[in-house]
Amino acid sequence: MKRVVAFLALVMFAVLACAGEAEVKKAWESAFTDMKVESVTKTDYLGLYEVYAEGEVFYTDEKVTAILRGELIDAKTRKNLTQEKKFSMLPLDQAIKVVRGNGKNVLVTFEDPNCGYCKKLARELQQVKNTTVYTFLVPILSEDSVQKSKAIWCAADKSRTWSDWMLNGTVPIAAAAKCDAGPMLAKTMELSRRLGIRGTPFIYFANGQQAGGYIPAAEIEKRLSQSGGLD
């Protein structure tokens, strides 16, 4: 009987939470008609609701009477909940995926194909075992960066073409078949702008940690271990 009561209480809590989230979404969209809300989630902190809109994370009360824009950190675990949310919402279908080993250690990079430190990072990542690296192309250095990015994105094997260029200097050849990478590159450029990324390489780890610029393999492994990987 106790199990039944506990289960019903859990169901009721879930129903009320969903109802509250729906009301917050409605109130938010009424107040900010130009912002598309992607998700609303009740947090375990201070009665706050997390609102993910236009690539940003906000916090508000159930009536949307006040809004907080900043980072929410769990005082006990020291987890940066805001950055973890941003990582989980990244549109990984717009990134090049390279898997090494079993791929259990996940990280995301933003890179320009002509960036020297990006190429140095690529060599360091070769030393990190069992990784899945999602790379968003951000051609900010030159028109040649744009053209290389288009050729890489339109390649039959994006992962291999990207790796061949970054590691071996094999110049990517523009695809003969019709492929318009322009819209995709516009999305990745806009994503990097929303995230405040102003240079490459830029690295996101699954636990929300970030690194602007090149870091060596040992530091990458250290941060991956803090993300729960590299067992």
Q: Are strands 67-68 and 56-60 parallel, antiparallel or unpaired?
A: antiparallel
Q: Which of 23-37, 66-80, 156-170, 193-207 has the highest mean pLDDT?
A: 156-170
Please say if the pLDDT value at position 42 is more than 90: yes
Contact call for residues 106 and 97 (beta carbons, < 8 A): no
Helices 143-153, 182-194: inter-axial angle, 10-degree rounding: 110
Q: How far apart are alpha carbons 128 and 218 in whole angstroms?
A: 8
- Contacts of residue 46, defined as CB under 8 A and 6 or more positions apart, other chains included, come to none
CATH 3.40.30.10 maps onto the chain at 92-226
For residue 13, name the pLDDT band (cuts at 50, 70, 90).
very low
Q: What is the pTM of this model?
A: 0.81
Determine the distance from the C-alpha atom of residue 156 to the mean position of all C-alpha atoms in its chain, rounded to a whole number: 24
φ and ψ at 5, to 5 degrees?
A: -60, -45
pLDDT in tens, 196-228: 899 999 999 988 889 999 999 999 999 998 866
Domain 92-226: give its CATH code: 3.40.30.10
